[in-house]
Amino acid sequence: MNKPMHISWDMAPARLSARRLSPETRAMISRLRTALIYVVLGLGALVMVAPFLWMFTTSFRPVAEAFTLPPRWLPGLDSSLESYRRLLASDVPIGRFFWNSTVLATTVTLGYVATTTIAGYAFARLRFPFKNALFALLLVSLMVPIQTTLVPLFLLMRWLGLVDSQWSIIVPGLTGAFAPGMSGVFGIFLMRQFFLTLPKELFEAARVDNAGHFRTFWSIAVPLAGPQIAALSVIIFTMTWNDYFMPLIFLNSVDQMVLPVGIMSIRDPVGNSSATSEVIAAVSLSILPVLLVFLVAQRWIIDSFMRAGVKG
């Protein structure tokens, strides 16, 4: 009797390995497959890293031949700081951009983290009327990215006299409404989830001592939340450092510009190779801080993002 063989594309290998092959062959197939996966992943990882290698290497090539082919992937003996020197000597205030970016990202981060941490604590640990309704209301902001309210936001900032001032980006951050690219409720949610995991007993002791609510928050909750607060800070700092959209709308004069907007303003249509070398140098400088922090605290950053992502 010839039964029709039922082989579907995903079952065939299982049958082969389960029935016909000796254990040695199976082990070899498994090893081969693992090796293949390593190679494919390795090629993928190379694609991820290559643009950065190309950028840093190109920024160190002599300007005249920076873009000649074949491309270089590692700095060679002819490395020079010409691109950087030209950038610093040009009338582009790259130092100013750098300073503005640093001040802006730091201020927004401090304000956002403080406001969302204390709000997250209240939503997790205190009882007050309409708590859940208010929290649900805040969740609405997840659906309202600033791209959807751009025009009124601009008019509001103009009315407040904040256009072309760092305050136009700092103030929404300080109030925990949103940081660039990140709604405020993200931080509140993240901190709330953390404070919910703390055992009740910790707070009951404080209650017996009749400690004020702020003192309880400050001296019991905040120290325990250290790693979580640090993780949130890194996320908000990076997002603010990288953001282009808000500064594009709100900061127009060269004095106020941050790195992403500044780089866009000096970018030349490709072809003028000396100016483009300066752009490559400026981008390298902008990425360098993120890269350094990542190299130092890689595991911790990856774990933080993983936790934040799961909960947020």
Partner 1 sequence: MTKIANDAAGWFSPQNRKETNAGLLFIAPALIGFAVFVAGPMVATVVLSLMKYDLFSSPSFVGLANFEAMLDDRRLWKVLGNTAFFAVFAVAGNVGLGVVLAVLLNRNMSKTVRYAYRAAFFFPSLVGLIFVAVIWQFLFQRDIGVINYYLGIVGIEPVRWLSSARNALWSVIILDIWKNVGFAMLIATAGLQSISKDYYDAARVDGSSSLRTFWQITVPLLSPTILFLLTMNTIGAFKVFESIVVLTNGGPGDSSRSLVMYIYEQGFKSFNMGYASAISLLLLTITVIVTAIQFALSKRWAFYE
First-to-final CA distance of the chain: 59
Scan for tokens 């072309």, then name that residue.
164
DSSP for residue 129: T
Query: Min. distance of Cβ 232 from partner 1 in angstroms?
Result: 14
Cβ proximity to partner 1, 34 vs 80, nearer residue: 34
| Inter-residue contact 209 to 143 (CB < 8 Å) | no
Task: Please state, as a whole number, how many other Cβ atoms lie within 10 Å of the Cβ of residue 12.
Answer: 11
- Cβ proximity to partner 1, 2 vs 130, nearer residue: 130
Residue 188 · residue 119 · CB < 8 Å: yes
**Closer to partner 1 at the Cβ: 67 or 98?**
67
- Structure-token pair, residue 307: 């936790």
Among residues 64 and 150, whose Cβ is nearest to partner 1?
150
- Minimal distance in Å, beta carbon 14 to partner 1? 4
Q: Which amino acid type is present at position 181?
A: G
Kindly state the smallest distance separating residue 284's Cβ from partner 1, in Å: 9
Output the smallest distance, CB 118 to partner 1, in A. Answer: 5
Residue 149 tokens read as: 């309210």
**Residue 93 near residue 73 (C-beta atoms within 8 A):** no
Residue number, 82 or 250, with CB nearest to partner 1: 250
* Closer Cβ to partner 1, 183 or 193, answer by number: 183
User: Least distance (Å) from partner 1 to the CB of residue 153?
Assistant: 5
How big is the chain, counted in residues?
Answer: 312
165's enclosing H/E stretch is none
Closest contact distance (angstroms) between CB of 156 and partner 1 is 6
d(CA 278, CA 52) in angstroms, rounded, equals: 16
